[in-house]
Structure 1
Amino acid sequence: MSLYYLLIAAVIQGITEFLPVSSSGHLILLPALSGAQDQGLAIDVAVHVGTLLAVIIFFWSDVRSAIAGLGRLARGRIDTPGARLAFLLIISTIPVMIVGLVIKVTGLDEAMRSVAVIGWTMLGFGLVLYWADRTGETIKAKEEWTLKDAVAMGLAQVIALIPGTSRSGITITAARKLGYDRESAATLSMLMSIPTILASAVLLGADVVDHADWALARDGGIAAAFAFVAAILSLKLMMKLLKSVDFTPYVIYRVVFGLFLLWWAYS
């Protein structure tokens, strides 16, 4: 695989993983739109690992707190902010892990990888994000995350298993409708991505191991590095913009891109 193609795949993943525009949808469309061969499962796993490292480093203060709280959580104690955060992240991840495994085993993941599906979800859930952002109150901060809200956001995250929905987009949508301010909604969504991406990488990585070779490992390492850099820059930009800009620019992008995909799919 050429370095140029690896760079494109990694940058797309890095930029779109945390923006509410669907990274999986873009990666599925890359070979379809470029005419190139599909980048393959190994590269998909590699770029996800790169973005995982980026979000861990970017939100290291919260991640460190959650890691420290795991020990207390293991002893059945949820009496510190870190233990509470770790508990809520685990709870919010359970639904997508269960449904994701079912979809993989049944082969439904391949059935949903179509331009038409991505077009409809890109358009539809973009409009839902706009509605939630406009009508949602701003009465909660991330420190006020509750078990009820973690379950609600975890169930919303399941919808992101449909390509084009956007994991960050649907969880931000849920958080905004639940009353979290934009920065808190984005932060909670990013923190939820850590166990989700980790579980996905482990699940998909098991399929890659048997077919791995040095050339593929080299390509994967390069892709992961590119994705890491792109994700860090994307996170910095989005979190900075959310101090003064709402989610409308992302909605406009989703609507325009979704309409283009639907035109392309049905023409």
Structure 2
Amino acid sequence: MTNIHPTAVIEDGAVIGEGVRIGPFCVVGPQVSLGDDVELKSHVAVAGETSIGAGTSIFPFASIGHQAQDLKFRGEKATLTIGEGCIIREGVTINPGTEAGGSSTTIGDNCAFLANSHVGHDSHLGSRIILSNNVMIAGHVDVGDNVIFGGGSAVIQFARIGRNAFVGGLSGLENDLIPFGMVTGNRAKLGGLNLIGLKRANFPREQIHALRAAYRDLFESTEGTLRSRAEAIAAEMTDQPLVRTVTDFILEKDDRRFCTPGLED
């Protein structure tokens, strides 16, 4: 049963699913769509052409779908799509897209955005991602599934972060981070593989061993460039899916810089 507090403002045109709960002093804009069993605790503001998936909970003073923090924005049509089962805690800000960046921001299912974290315009986040308190994701950032961000970390515009990676608290990420990688520091340096995350994800031991060997060849060798080493490993280890995830990420674009253990490659 839908339950809307009498002090909440639901503008004409908003689509409200079954079982939605909207607490005191919330504001829901006319182009907003709330899926079944969404809960807005209190003092939540949802604006713009924003779709929120079933079962997502949003806590007080979150600002979702308001105008992108981009000085070039001129009111063009843009969207924000948030998946199912997400937790959005106090003071979180998530912005829609801009025309220059593809006009959309997207977030997958079962993500957790802890207090005062931010997702900028035109970013695309996968599923089961955790942003700890005060994490800052700039515009145009791509994040794979199962990534964890420690508190106070920051990601520069246009960065890519591969699946199952870990970004340590207070890290400043200014280059792409490979899948399964782990970085710390300001500016962030690659500290190895996210072995704890790999084990928690129940990847087979032999695949983890192959990934560790490939990591050594990628980042401890001094022969050739990072790209040439990735090409060689991809050709050699065609039957190792975790390794191919990393090499495909490196080879996908030829104009990117990557987090490395020390010197940039």
TM bucket (normalised to shorter chain) is under 0.3
TM-score, normalization: structure 1? 0.22
More strand by share: 2
The structure having more radius of gyration, on CA atoms, is 2
More helix by share: 1
Which one scores higher on RCO, CA 8 angstroms, separation ≥ 6?
A: 1
